[in-house]
Amino acid sequence: MNTQIRPAHIKDMDQLVQLCEAHAIFEQSAYDKTNKAALLSQHLFKASPDLFCLVIEHEKKLIGYATYMKQFSTWDAAFYIYMDCLFIDADFRSLGLGEQLINKIKVAGKKLGCKHIQWQTPDFNTRAMKFYDRIGGVHKSKERYFLAV
């Protein structure tokens, strides 16, 4: 298969927003595309990015992505990578691409001085949970809350 995993580029933003929307739909969430390409670009493409993004490109089309950032854990007194999103188009799942994305994030995490990766997935995404268990992920049950500021 002719795929490439690479960092996102400015030219990818429209396709990335489409993938984000597909991801939100998959997770049964609302998504507003308004100005998302510009907003994401502000955080991805500055000298010290707030957010990192890897994309999977297949025949000049983006078919998946993962975003992550460096965070700090008070309990561990250490930095970690928080993987905010990982999504692959349904037609390209079960081909090892998710594991390749996570392996690239592991490498990036080591370069950033992090000791582990944290992420979350909806409790109905059993296929993802099986994948995460298979690659050695360990889960903790918690509820995620949101509060407007």
- pLDDT at residue 148, as a whole number: 61
Q: Is 73 in a helix, a strand, or coil?
A: strand
Structural domains in the chain plus CATH codes: 3-134 (3.40.630.30)
Confidence band (pLDDT; 50, 70, 90) for 147? low
Task: Give me the percent of the chain exceeding a pLDDT of 70.
Answer: 97
Biggest CA-to-CA distance, the chain: 45
Query: pLDDT for 28-67, tens place per residue?
Result: 999 999 999 999 999 999 999 999 999 999 999 999 999 9
Average pLDDT of the residues in 84-98? 95
Secondary structure E strands in 11-77: 52-58, 61-73
Token pair recorded at residue 147? 């509060």
Amino acid (1-letter code) at residue 28 = Q
CA–CA dist 109, 35 (Å, integer): 29
pTM, entire model:
0.89
User: Burial code of 128-147, b = ≥16 C-beta within 10 A, e = fewer?
Assistant: beebbeeeeeeeeeeeeeee
CB-based contacts of 19: which residues, under 8 Å, 6+ apart? 62, 64, 65, 87, 89
